[in-house]
Amino acid sequence: MQIMSLAAGVVMAGEHILIVEDEADIAELVEYNLARADYDPQCVATGEEGLVQAREAEPDLVILDLMLPGLSGLEVCRRLKADPRTARIPVIMLTAKGEEEDIVAGFEAGADDYVTKPFRPKVLLARVRAVLRRGTGQRRREDDVVDLEGLEIHPGRHEVRVDGEVVDLTRTEFRILQFLASRPGWVFTRSQIVRSVHGDDYPVTGRSVDVQVAALRRKLGAAGPLIQTVRGVGYKMGD
């Protein structure tokens, strides 16, 4: 049975969400439920179309299948995150590939969340709301002063304080800390951390990131536990 999109011909007031999904039934189901929840959904069927629409429309969120004809979902996600115009658009991967290595690969590519098929529409909507809420409530400008439970980060002064005391950090340690603190609660892979600090194609291993994070925790003392390890994925700054 074909489901008519509630979004067709209607100007929605909610966030614009791009759905990149080649299975028509699933695309229509996701679109229908998003429209019912007052979002503004748009569907495309290929990775190439997804890239074009993401760059042109700059949606608030992308729901992305992994197994697409032509350009794969993983490659689409990598390109979105590598492009300054689209890097800040959150991506939820929606896919039948649910093995641990698939999930890790998705996060390594830059996904913000990962939902496996079959899925319940209510669960997907809850994930959508959570990702959008994190994006608007916790995204900070690079020049904002961050204050988390006694940890203060002053980007303009390149200064970090814990309970009022200045902490001496290297340039790399400071940038790692600033990157993690830019979105408290968000999980970042080691590759994302390397790219944020050094740029693409920098020859640093995941083990090197672990060593730098361990040193950073020691220097932060009482605030060190704010940097949390997410096993098999990477690191996050506690809320």
Buried/exposed code over 198-216 (b: 16+ C-beta within 10 A; e: otherwise) = eeeeeebeeeebeebbeeb
For each of the domains in the chain, give its residue range(s) and CATH number, in order of start: 16-138 (3.40.50.2300), 146-237 (1.10.10.10)
Please tell me the predicted confidence (pLDDT) of residue 98.
74
20: pLDDT strictly greater than 90? yes
Contacts of 90 (CB under 8 A, 6+ apart): 60, 61, 62, 112, 113, 131, 132, 134, 135
191: pLDDT strictly greater than 60? yes
* Dist CA 81 CA 91 (whole Å): 9
Predicted confidence (pLDDT) per residue in 116-159, tens digit: 888 899 989 998 988 887 765 444 455 567 888 889 998 878 89
Helix (H, G, I), strand (E, B) or coil at 142: coil
Q: Are strands 91-95 and 61-64 parallel, antiparallel or unpaired?
A: parallel
Predicted confidence (pLDDT) per residue in 30-83, tens digit: 999 999 999 999 999 999 999 999 999 889 999 999 989 889 999 999 899 888
Range list of H helices, the chain: 24-36, 47-57, 73-82, 100-108, 121-138, 171-181, 190-198, 206-220
Please tell me the predicted confidence (pLDDT) of residue 204.
53
Please tell me the predicted confidence (pLDDT) of residue 65.
94
29: pLDDT strictly greater than 90? yes
Please tell me the predicted confidence (pLDDT) of residue 145.
76
Q: Average of pLDDT values for 203-221? A: 83
202: pLDDT strictly greater than 60? no
27: pLDDT strictly greater than 90? yes
Please tell me the predicted confidence (pLDDT) of residue 232.
83
